[in-house]
Chain A
Amino acid sequence: MAMFSGLSERINHIFSKLTKRGKLTELEIKQAMREVRVALLEADVNFLVAKDFINKVSEKAVGEQILTSLTPGQQVIKIVNDELIDLMGSSNSKLEIASKPPTIIMMCGLQGAGKTTMCGKLGLMLRKQGKKPMLVAGDIYRPAAINQLKIVAGNAGVDFFEKGTISPDKIATEAIELAKKKGNDVVIIDTAGRLQINAELMDELVRIKKAVNPHEILLTVDSMTGQEAVNVAKEFDEKLDITGTILTKLDGDTRGGAALSIKAITGKPIKFSGTGEKLADIEPFYPDRMASRILGMGDVLTLIEKAQENIDQEQMKKLEENLRKNTFTFDDFLVQFEQLSKMGDLTSILSMIPGMGAKIRPEDVDESRLKAYKAIIQSMTPKERANPDLIKASHRKRIAKGSGTTIQEVNALIKQFEQTKLMMKNQNNPQLRKMFGGRKFF
């Protein structure tokens, strides 16, 4: 969508212009900040929060430090990014643990935010940490909500408590009595989704809070939420004095500006993020990654981590060596393909590369094309693979036939190989180079 792509490019464009001119003027900062503002708004950062942010950053940017700097563009990016990270707080995903068990965690949020699933995720995470959690069914309204939590608890391998549709504060109280008897050291209370403007239902939450005095009250927020995220968070926080928030559905392609809005308005830490439908898909909240996501600058850190987890380090080292010695071959190229497919869902991985964000389409990372490329390389003789210069026009025909592809495809691959080789040489980010050798694989 034209509307959302090219954002990081636009910022980069302005900044690159700045870099070229060497020194920054107030006017140029103003221009750059206009782009940053658009970026924030498109990311759903609340209008007023964005305004505040821009003012603060501009103040910092129009300082001597930047005017005398050599690469002002980079510095502006850094200031914006640092400020964002700073605003979103530290990576604080610690849960408050009660000195006298059980630790009581109460969930709250709008309808459909993902509370029930998050109960299961927290339960599983805590069980893995050696705790004995109990999930409590406090959503007495939504059809089959109790049963959903029961199944989720079963899947997480944790205890479950329900008391039908009596009032949730009573359910919570009874659950805690039972937890004490049964030795559950954590109690997680699920509650029904509700609108922050529904006074009656907000009171119900206050009553639960009064009844059991939770150690943690966690507001669960859909990361796709728009401008109203501030009012939602503000209202829940005012009524309940929440202890933190959780962002869900971050495996989507939302830029997630709500994170900044919520943090700015409540000042409470963002503790976890939900990154998939499986119960294991829970991560600590990383402010630095969120910052680059909001700015549309890609999630380089996640990318690097993911790659490190999945890539055979030994093989990569060899690859890099070949690269340095300028003996990069089709065999190496093949290894790279395989490493890439091992990393899992290509679309989601590629979308984390800066500048690619919105441009990724499933057809761009067509797995069948990858397969065709593999077949082509496998149809080359070992000699050809080792020394690509040997591949003459007549050989290409044979390779195409052998791999069931066309000469055009063979030519395309050879061209990409040459480009990749070149790019890998020029890439100055060693980690990215290690992984991809530039991005033009497809």
Chain B
Amino acid sequence: MGFFSRLFDGMKKTKKSFSEKLKYVFTGNEIDSDFYEELEYVLISSDIGEQTTEYIIDELKDRAKEKKLKKTEDCRELLKEIMVEILSTTQPKELSYPCVIMVLGVNGVGKTTTLGKLAKKFTDEGKKVVLAAADTFRAAASDQLEVWANKSKVKIVTNEQGADSGAVVYDAIASAKAKNADIVLIDTAGRLHNKAILMEELKKINRIVSKEFGEAEYHKMIVVDGTTGQNAVNQVELFNEAVELTDITITKLDGSSKGGFLLSLAKDFDLAIRYVGVGESEKDLLDFDAKEFVDAIF
């Protein structure tokens, strides 16, 4: 099943209410201020945010005028076009191996689950994977990742709760090198982005990866909960300042939220949006695609 149909499936509820709303917006009526107000409502209620919404609507107004559009329904494709344009700067490059992917983000966004799904995905693609359970903080965090490791029969490096996360990463890299593995996947503890002290741990992991595995392509991937509102932008900004992010994954898009903040992220940051989480089982991870994402919203 392709991205579109899967995302469509996952987002059915989302889509229903969203497209229902849109039905009232895009009609045979003349374009007027009511139309733009309704549209604003729809965009903001998808967590696109006030500023980006304003930007999109201004763009739409300009282009509609230029093209001399009369009816609101004629604006539908134009709106999609604008949104795809904003998102298309985020298309990720293919991974090259060996590579290291560290997931990070605030508490409970779906880091461990995403990593579990990735372990499965890469194993299925014939890659050799090593998991590093570097969340040595949260209760039972490594047990959780171990369950995923067992599912795809992947090597996992763990340590007890409270142990040094850097040591786990170090060991995982050593093990990956010895085994000639293609990918090291690092799980980290959830942390709030405004706590500068907690960022030090991530910086330390960065140093270890660069020093011990400099030849590997290194991805620092923030995981953002699709249910989040405008705080998503703060999260990306502060994590980016601390560790220079490379990728974004958005999760829980099987819920009723639309993850509209991705548009703000695409506008403000130079990061690849790589994966989309659409459920809790190992198959519920999709590659991100700008056009299909917008199609799935509409």
Residues in chain A within 8 A of chain B (CB atoms):
1, 3-4, 38, 41-44, 46-48, 110-114, 141-145, 147-148, 150-152, 155, 195-197, 222, 224-229, 231-232, 249, 251-255, 257-258, 277, 345, 347-348, 351, 362
Contacts and interface: CB of A to CB of B under 8 A. Distances in A.
B163 interface: no
Interface stretch (B26-34, B65-73, B80-88, B191-199): B191-199
A229 B255 CA distance: 11
A252 B107 CA distance: 10
5 contacts: A1-B237, A144-B141, A224-B232, A225-B229, A253-B234
A interface SS class? loop
A249 B237 contact: no
A197 B14 CA distance: 9
B47 A152 contact: no
Given A143-B148, A152-B139, A227 B225 contact: no
Interface residues of B, number: 52
B233 interface: yes
A43 B50 CA distance: 10
B280 A4 contact: no
A144 B230 CA distance: 31
Interface string B214-230: 00000000000101111
Contacts of A112: 107-110, 225, 252
Contacts of A148: 138-141, 143-144
A48 B42 CA distance: 11
A253 B231 contact: yes
Contact of A222 (B108, B143, B254): B108
B182 to A, nearest CB: 24
Contact of B108 (A4, A47, A113, A228): A113
Given A144-B143, A228-B256, A257-B229, 18 more contacts: A1-B268, A3-B51, A3-B268, A42-B49, A44-B229, A111-B110, A143-B148, A147-B139, A148-B138, A197-B255, A197-B256, A222-B227, A224-B231, A226-B47, A227-B229, A253-B192, A255-B231, A347-B194
B174 interface: no
Most chain A CB inside 10 Å of its own CB: which residue of B141, B195, B232: B195
Given A4-B233, A143-B147, A252-B194, A226 B107 contact: no
A345 B227 CA distance: 28
Interface of B: 13, 41, 44-47, 49-51, 106-110, 116, 137-141, 143-144, 146-148, 161, 192-197, 225, 227-234, 237, 252, 254-257, 260-261, 264, 268, 280
B274 to A, nearest CB: 20
A113 B257 CA distance: 15
B120 to A, nearest CB: 13
A197 B13 CA distance: 7
Contact of A114 (B107, B193, B280): B107
B193 A252 contact: yes
Contacts of A231: 256
Contacts, number: 156
B255 A252 contact: no
B45 A46 contact: yes
B178 to A, nearest CB: 27
Contact of B44 (A41, A144, A222): A41
A258 B237 contact: no
A281 B22 CA distance: 43
A226 B257 contact: yes
B108 A227 contact: no
A22 to B, nearest CB: 31
B227 to A, nearest CB: 5
Contacts of A228: 47, 227, 255-257
Contacts of B261: 226
B228 A224 contact: yes
A330 to B, nearest CB: 28
B25 to A, nearest CB: 14
B107 A277 contact: yes
Contacts of B141: 144, 148
Contacts of A196: 255-256
Contacts of B232: 224
A48 B147 CA distance: 43
B118 to A, nearest CB: 15
B139 A1 contact: no
A195 B50 contact: no
Contact of B144 (A4, A143, A222, A224): A143
Most chain B CB inside 10 Å of its own CB: which residue of A144, A255, A277: A144
A155 B144 contact: no
B220 to A, nearest CB: 19
Nearest to A231: B256
Contacts of A258: 229
Given A1-B237, A3-B233, A47-B45, A351 B194 contact: yes
